[in-house]
Chains A and B, each alone.
Chain A
Amino acid sequence: MAEDVAEQTASAPGPEPTGTSAGPGPEASGEAANDSGSGTGAGVAGGTVARTAPEAGPSGEPRDDPRGEPKPDSAVVRDALGVGIAVGLSGFAFGVTSAGAGLTLLQSCALSLLVFTGASQFALVGALAAGGNPLTAAAGAFFLGVRNTFYGLRLSQLLALPRFIRPFAAQWVIDETAAVALAQPTRRGARLGFTVTGLTLYVLWNLTTLLGALGAEAIGDTDAWGLDAAGPAVFLALLAPMLRTTTERAVAAVAVVLGLGFLPLLPAGVPVLVAALAAPAVLWFEGRGTTDRKGTDR
């Protein structure tokens, strides 16, 4: 634990010599606003950052944390519940989409319980609905989940969890918990934020998945209700806050062209994997053009 703290403080100026907008403070908040994944998460977490600084509580907090002034637990819980409830309710859209894609109630619920990372779940059922084979469908979902590794890296330093807890905490390492935890100024706040957001979201997401899947079976033709638009709308809402610089927009544009262009040509589920190549392609192109700009816009 102590090593982690030392490592964190020591490494703060270290790996960022390229001017990635500097130290832990601004970077953490930018990360929170950006990575929260959903519009709601971004909004609430952004508000958290803004509100944090002035509310320096009257001490009483552990002084072992160099990250910043403490913030009342109630404020952390309030923010965490806000994100957890808002995003948790959107599990309803997943349940409906999943059932509409032809998955059974048990399969839909298993996805929310075991996969528990929204974009991957939507991607998987979308690919299966389009007739993709299980391997390519799972590959697309898996690549979408890779970003959680990088949340885990940051959270691991921030939360400093005991080793035996990590396998249990891992399931909650997603956009929203990372956003809330990274926005907290103290370790205590980060742990509280992570736990409350994770618990609220996990319970609600699974509950609403069940209700959505049941509801879809009752509804019958989900397309008539426009529910097939829920999937793309979720993706768009997750994507929108990420499109901040020219690089991200270029990647998105190339990916759309590749994804649509190969849709009639390749088996279902494969075109999206081809479209993923837009990321390294644009990076490579950018690296050739302006080597000195590398990393400045993130």
Chain B
Amino acid sequence: MSIWIAVALTAVGCYLVKLLGLLVPAGVLERPIVQRLSALLPVALLAALTAQQAFGGPDGALVVDARVAGLTAAGLALVLRAPFLVVIAAAVAVTAAVRALGG
């Protein structure tokens, strides 16, 4: 049930922020500070989420496991300008391979 609450809240919230952009008159949110903050907020969130999902273990513990190898592979693929799907596939394949080898 609590998952459905999260799903509903996210759905409503994310839809409203999308709609807001189309409805408010231009200029209201055009202040430089607001623009800068809105551009930097996803950077902070994505960076934190990447790190947490790469190193997060049970009960908030920090662990280093095969995911780190997978994420390194993804990073390498990004540096080589690989397409989106290849980046994800590289992470998954390398993580699985390291686990299979007992990593």
Is there contact, CB below 8 Å, between B38 and A147? yes
Give the total number of A-B pairs whose CB atoms are below 8 A apart: 334
In the complex, what residues of B have CB within 8 A of residue A232's CB?
A: 49-50, 53-54, 67, 70-71, 74, 91
In the complex, what residues of B have CB within 8 A of residue A51's CB?
A: none
How many residues of B sit at the interface, in one of the four size bands? 35 or more
Beyond A130-B56, A150-B29, A295-B36, whether A166 also contacts B23 by CB under 8 A is yes
Binary contact track B7-28/A, C-beta < 8 Å → 1, others 0: 1011101110111111110110
Binary contact track A222-254/B, C-beta < 8 Å → 1, others 0: 011111111111111111101100011001111
Task: Tell yes or no: A47 within 8 A of B by CB.
Answer: no
Considering only CB atoms, which chain B residue lies closest to A137 in the complex?
B6
A171 to B52, CA, bound (A): 28
Instruction: Please list 22 pairs of residues, one from A and one from B, whose beta carbons are closer than 8 Å in the complex, sorted by A's number.
Output: A39-B84, A90-B85, A138-B9, A151-B21, A153-B21, A156-B21, A167-B19, A171-B18, A226-B97, A228-B53, A229-B92, A232-B50, A232-B74, A233-B88, A236-B75, A255-B43, A255-B48, A268-B60, A275-B44, A275-B48, A294-B32, A295-B32
Binding site for B on A (CB under 8 A): 4, 7-8, 11, 15, 18, 38-41, 43, 86-87, 89-90, 93, 102-104, 107, 110-111, 114-117, 119-124, 126, 128, 130-131, 133-135, 137-138, 140-157, 161, 166-167, 169-171, 173-174, 223-240, 242-243, 247-248, 251-256, 258-260, 263-266, 268, 271-272, 275-280, 282-283, 294-295, 298
- Enumerate the 9 nearest inter-chain pairs by beta-carbon distance, A residue then B residue, closest first: A152-B21, A259-B48, A226-B95, A226-B96, A275-B48, A233-B91, A134-B6, A229-B70, A114-B11
